[in-house]
A and B are shown apart, each in its own frame.
Chain A
Amino acid sequence: MTDARLPDPQRLLPLPSVTFHILMALAGGDRHGYAIIQDVAARTDNQLRLGAGTLYRSLERMLSQGLIAETGDRPAPEQDDERRRYYRITPYGDAVARAEAARLMDLVRLARASGFARERA
């Protein structure tokens, strides 16, 4: 995949919230599936516990969209009882996540102007 031909990040917005959460989880570094689940759960105070089915379906779609990539370097097999795949956020994924964050901030700004939310986040 060549970065020069990446589609406009805006085209994928608004992101499904699961996708956004996964991107946020991967922002801190490469992770395998279960680690993403744990990360999302911790980040949301256990409010969002991703099921494996939802997770891997999202991961597959994100792979095909080019938001994430599988990392080639895995920990040695003997380190884990199961062979695991690690995922990494791509530059494109990063751009899309930023665009989504900007979109959400704009939205919040508008909400404040309408008096739906207090100043000071």
Chain B
Amino acid sequence: MISLLAYRALLWLYPASWRAEYAGEMRAAFAARRRDASGLFGVPGLWLEVLPDLVTNAAAVHLDLLRQDLRYAARTLRRSPGFAIAAVAIGAVGIGATTAAFTMVDHVMIRPFAYGEPDRLVKVTEDNSDTSPADFMDWRRMNTSFASLEAYRSLSVDLSGIGEPKRLDGAALTGGMLSMLRVSPAFGRVFTAKDDSESSPETVILSYGLWQSLFAGDADVLGRSIRLDNTPHTIIGVMPKGFYFPSRQALLWTAMRWRPDAFDDRRDTYIYGVGRLKPGAGFAQAQAELRSIGERLARAYPKELANTHVTSQRLRDDVSPRAVLLLKVLMAAAGCMLLIACTNLANLLLARAMMRRRELAVRTALGAGRERLVRQMLTESLVVATAAGTLGWLLAWATVPLLVRLIPVSLPLAETPELDPRVLLAATLLVLSTSTGFGLIPALRGSRRQISTELHEGGRSGIGGRRQRLRSALVIVEVACSVVLLAGFGLLTRALWRIQAVDPGFRADHILTLRTSLPMPQYGTPEKRDPFYRHVLEGARQLPGVTAAAYTSFLPMVLTGGIWPVEIAGHPEDIARRRTASLRFVTPGFFEAMGIPLVVGREVRETDSHRAPYVAVVSQSFVNRYWPGEKPIGRHFDFGNNDRVIVGVVGNIRVRGLERASEPQVYLSWQQTDAVSPWYAPKDLVVRAAGDAGSLAPALRRLIREADPDQPVSDVRPMTEIVAGETESRRVQLAVLGAFGAVAFLLAAVGIHSLLAFAVSQRSQEIGVRMALGAQRSDILGMTLREGFQLAVVGIAAGMALAYGAGKLLQSLLAGVAPHDAATFACAALVALVMTLLGSLEPALRAVRVDPTIAIRAE
């Protein structure tokens, strides 16, 4: 008895259609065998035979059906290629956009670093920026929250002795940094405290990428020596592939090796702290402790540290809020796309389901079981979703390299994220559920309730019926989503225009820039640098077409730091607001080369030597801050470790970039450096030409080679490229949003079109009757268009409201453009109306062409 029940239960493994056919037979066969089974092992022996037979054959039956259904699906899809192509393409767009966007966001915001327990790592900074070694040492000494606290500084060194001299970025790390990050080298070893002491030989660890490019992956590099800034360093290890710290640009690492005087000046900030929380210590607790340490230090050293704070954040959160916002916008836009794609697919399927109700009714009447119909339609949805998923994957694969440009290079992450299969699966499932939900359910409902009515009435659906209302709602959602995308695109485009219209304060055109790094100590003093500058600059000025050439410490927008305190006799130091200005050493001719206007006085001259009075050329903003309305020439102030006298005033420039406020600028003579770090030695060459500046590069390289054959040349690029780089991530974002907007626009138009076309085809009889009764063609045209526009207006209104909300969220990216910018919204609405018109026109014309005699007779 139990055996029979068990057998009956196991039969549920078979599809219902099979059970209906054979379950009784099989039960009978089993019962007979059960009767014949005798002896102690009869029944268990029987089950041993029956069980595998049942299970494998059930699977085989399912497989047979699947094969059948796939053939059927392929056939039906082939019969309506328009539907098949549209459904797959629409699904693919939604899946592709979502997969690409979420992959990026996941990569930047969630993906774990290649460090051990990265969530326990905290970045410790001073006012979210660098700090001084002395402060760092105090933090390390005073805290109780960190198991260890280490520091790094970024490094830029000349590598020589292997092929062409090269300029490489890297980082100097305190001895325990790599072990604290819990990373092990690919081979060799990481730094120890011994490497970090000044008395031991200098060592270097290579990144995997540098090891590959320098030594072609030669395993025999340990112990070899490379020259960095003309000092031999012994290679002690190679880090594994995919390890980045602190940023993706760092290709090698050396030990920090503090100089004895490193702890003298608390204002000389250039390092960052990274700590690992003690087991049991929470982040909030550590943060609070660091804050109070900062307050204690600020009280102890009011002159240097007044109004500075110790700031900290999880290493994982060390992403600029701007980058996060850019990615969030991307994600939201992708979500919008997926929504539009799904609604469009739903609409398409609803229409198809209504068309097929007759087919299904006929097949049901002919005896096809509901289960078989459901299975077949599910298989069809599966085929569509799988094809869409595959295509979407390809789409995502093609777009991710474009989106990568949204990620700041300053993050220690691999360049190109791998596509996330989970996202792909989720998006595909959503498309699948859409296609089953909207394709299957209405069809089924039809097959159950309305078999007879369908067949009787010829399957004409009433206008304004429930299903038509659902389709209208879907179209409204599509229109609203596309309005949101269009308006977002418009707002950000206006913001981009506004930023691009910002005057950087210099004329970027016709300028070629390059960097010669001038290794120290070879070029440690102005006297040592003088012959080099002389040869390069004099040579450059003689090149045909060159109108000006000069050297500067750093190009604007490339290095935005280099900020020094300003002290003015008679202006008591305002502890509450530290007065600062950006410090640049320049050679004569700098302002002309950059196209920065001289407002009053003179510029830096060759005669402003080490022995002459120390001079300064300041920006207009500097004068406005300290001597508003007064004559600035001849005034003194203390800056860059010396007293300086103002000899000229020039226009303001955007040192910190187009979107940020910049400190006032002070330019000093390259010869009057005093004890300012050689880091500020002018290394960036600026050459202005009358014509095409780019063609000067080979001649400049030759001049530099003549001056110093070991001098690497890097960062050769026109100034315009640097300015354009300011808006690069915005332009990428806009390209993506624009593409999304365009696709959304198309999809919404297609949605409107298919809805109206369907309605017209269903109503041709009604239209025929109306025309027979004397309705004019213009009435019919108006009637059809009106329907499209009614939907559009509702969609646009909803979209506007949503777009305003989105605009508010975007505000920090809008560069002052109002989130309700009227022109943008008007444009978006206009575009949406055009889209509606495009979508409605063809069905409306078709309605007009209805021939009353044929339409009425057809029924």
Contacts and interface: CB of A to CB of B under 8 A. Distances in A.
Report whether chain A binds chain B: yes
B25 A51 contact: no
A15 interface: no
A52 B58 contact: no
B53 A56 contact: no
B813 interface: no
Interface stretch (B27-35, B432-440, B552-560, B784-792): B27-35
Nearest to B32: A34
Contacts of B56: 53
Interface in B10-27: 18, 21-22, 24-27
Contacts of B21: 60
Given A34-B32, A34-B33, A82-B31, A53 B53 contact: yes
B24 A52 contact: no
Which residue, A57, A81, A85, has most C-beta atoms of chain B within 10 A?
A: A57
Contacts of A43: none
B142 interface: no
B61 interface: yes
A60 B29 CA distance: 16
Contact of B50 (A34, A52, A80): A52
Contacts of A52: 25-26, 29-30, 50, 53-54
B24 A34 contact: no
Contacts of A51: 49-50, 52-54, 57
B60 interface: yes
A74 interface: no
B53 A82 contact: no
Interface in B608-665: none
A82 B28 contact: yes
Which residue, B22, B29, B56, B57, has most C-beta atoms of chain A within 10 A?
A: B29
Interface in A21-42: 32-34, 37
B54 A53 contact: yes
A84 interface: yes
Contacts of A37: 29, 33
Contacts of A83: 24
B46 to A, nearest CB: 10
Nearest to B26: A52
Given A52-B30, A53-B56, A54-B57, A85 B49 contact: no
A111 B60 CA distance: 34
A69 interface: no
Interface of B is mostly: helix
A109 interface: no
A49 B52 CA distance: 13
Interface in B53-83: 53-58, 60-61, 64
B25 A84 contact: yes
A56 B49 contact: no
A55 interface: yes
A49 B54 contact: no
Given A60-B22, A83-B24, A55 B29 contact: yes
A37 B25 CA distance: 12
A121 B53 CA distance: 33
Contacts of B30: 52
Contact of A33 (B29, B49, B52, B57): B29
Contacts of B28: 33-34, 80-82, 84
Interface in A68-97: 80-85
A34 B32 CA distance: 7
Contact of A53 (B31, B32, B58, B64): B58
Interface in B489-511: none
B53 A54 contact: yes
A119 B176 CA distance: 88
A57 B55 CA distance: 12
A83 B28 CA distance: 9
Contacts of A81: 28
Contacts of B29: 33-34, 37, 52, 55
B94 to A, nearest CB: 40
A56 B55 CA distance: 13
Contacts of B58: 53
Contact of A56 (B22, B31, B64): B22
A34 B25 CA distance: 8
Contacts of B27: 82
Nearest to B54: A53
A84 B22 CA distance: 10
Given A34-B32, A82-B31, A53 B57 contact: yes
A42 to B, nearest CB: 12
A56 B60 contact: no
Contacts of B64: 57
Contacts of B26: 33, 52-53, 56
B18 to A, nearest CB: 8
Contacts of A49: 49
Contacts of A80: 28
B54 A85 contact: no
A51 B29 CA distance: 9
5 contacts: A34-B32, A37-B33, A55-B29, A57-B57, A57-B60
Of all A-B residue pairs in the complex, the 3 with the closest CB atoms, nearest first, are A51-B53, A53-B57, A82-B28
Given A33-B28, A54-B53, A82-B25, 9 more contacts: A34-B32, A49-B49, A51-B54, A51-B57, A52-B29, A52-B30, A52-B53, A53-B26, A56-B22
Interface of A: 32-34, 37, 49, 51-57, 60, 80-85
